[in-house]
Structure 1
């Protein structure tokens, strides 16, 4: 990304650029922006993470995070959005990681929609983060162009910055956990719809649809069925103490139960 400049944002003009970028990506309903210029100003002034990515003087990515608990250990990444080419999101996350390590923070957390394949692959395979908590309808029903009225189930991703998956990711080495013989299929797809299977094995594979965002527009009932199925299967496994160890073949979560 030699043509992209990453830097912290400090001026009202820079914050306004970031807000316009987020508006272009999410197209939120009036009065429901994910973040405002004023809040970005306050977060930046208080020492939190507000950064942007620029190409040819034009903003192409931005990220906002705030310090979380336990104090002195965690940065919570609230929102990150990019446009204009692949690799910008990865560069922003590495910038965020460096910012956190400079302040002796050992992990970064964020939430994402577990039904979106590309986000799951990016977070788990490319970055080495791990989902550690399932959060049903975390933001309530969301009416922006991406969520289109869907319930906002999220998982809490935890990026442990000095552990092997994150260290490998920083060197561009993706995380690809092996699938052991005898792995069970806890959730699969048949004719576009979710089909629940067995979850009582040591390793369980949990599939997500190819394009949930398109499905919300073309077949809302099926999109809702996927939401509830993943909530039951993946959410249930996490509540029982199982661990997500990766995202296989850009299509399914790999979940390991305790022995």
Structure 2
């Protein structure tokens, strides 16, 4: 059990706790009632078979949680399927605390990595995953889940970035990157706000590639859904060849809202 100020994080097995966790996820994602993010029966099965079902409590009230299961290769990997924090849990740094607890849980069981997916258009998640945690992009997955029926996702395609978080190295310090330095190219043309254009043709092994994203894609999906859908296509065109191509170093995300991929085989920018 991990305690941080008024926050307690622990595994869940009790039926009432599992039902409360399912409700927390509903509160976060607002799914179609006929298609919940995850049901109590699935949570019960995962918990009973030794997989990862954890809740974060504030003053005894469940305010967030995380669910994962063992992945391939067997005995090495935990796949983190879903992590969410309710309105009650905001402002308590629960997301970071849940990931650190997850890391500790996996290390105690002899695992070497945690994997998960996230929407690469959501800039705050990209910064959290790649910079604060030090996860590494492994695959770009096109429309991975299909239509989810979630309010936050709208009707946009569910492209996801599949990342790996190695557990045998400490979380690295983010590299210093000058997005305006020599040898830097931008893989999305944003001259027309309503029509962003992916430019995969500018990518070369020697270039440091910057891939910008909108500051708040979730608001854009509500107010400008067509523009948001165009951003999905532009990001797919720019990001997929970088993630699925030769390894680059560094790979990071800037607070200003952009992925940065270093040159193939080249040293990190100073």
Gaps of 5+ in 2: 266-270
Aligned residues of 1:192 and 1:209 also touching (Cα < 8 A):
no
User: What do the CA deviations read for 1:66-105 (whole angstroms, capped 9, x no partner)?
Assistant: 0000011100000000132231000000000000000010
Residue 145 of structure 2 corresponds to 139
Residue among 137, 158, 176 paired with 1:152:
158
* CA distance in 2 between partners of 1:188 and 1:163 (Å): 36
- Between the aligned partners of 1:258 and 1:90, the Cα distance in structure 2 is 31
Residue aligning to 2:187: 186
TM-score by length of 2: 0.88
Is the 1:176–1:247 Cα contact (8 Å) retained in structure 2?
no
Aligned partners of 2:198 and 2:233 also within 8 Å: no
**Is the counterpart of residue 238 in structure 1 residue 238 in structure 2?**
no
Query: Distance between the aligned counterparts of 1:12 and 1:235, measured in 2?
Result: 41
2:68 to 57, 65, 71: 65
Alignment partners' CA distance in 2, 1:60 and 1:122: 19
- Count the aligned residue pairs: 252
Q: Give the structure 2 partner of residue 28 of structure 1.
A: 31
Cα pair 1:18 1:59 within 8 Å, conserved: yes
What does 1:12-161 align with in structure 2 at a 5 Å threshold? Answer: 12-83=15-86, 84-86=89-91, 87-161=93-167
Matched, 1:196 2:202: no
Q: 1:42-84: CA deviations, max 9, x gaps?
A: 1111110100100011111100000000011100000000132
Structure 1 vs Structure 2 CA RMSD: 1.6
Aligned in 2, Cα 1:53/1:195: closer, same or farther, shift over 3 Å?
Answer: same
1:118–1:250 CA contact under 8 A, matched in 2 = no
Are the aligned partners of 2:143 and 2:159 in contact in 1 as well (CA < 8 Å)? yes
Partner Cα distance (2:137, 2:51) in 1: 23
Q: 1:52 to 1:131 in 2, by over 3 A?
A: same
Farther-moved stretch of structure 1 (30-39 vs 17-26): 30-39
Matches of 2:103 and 2:168, distance apart in 1: 10
The alpha carbon displacement at 1:191 in A equals 4.7
- Kept in 1, the 8 Å contact 2:198–2:238? The answer is yes
State the 1:248 CA deviation: 1.5
In the TM superposition, what is the alpha-carbon distance from 1:242 to its structure 2 partner? Answer: 4.1
Partner deviation per Cα, 1:4-53 (whole Å, 9 max, x = no partner): 00000011111001000000111101221121111111111111010010
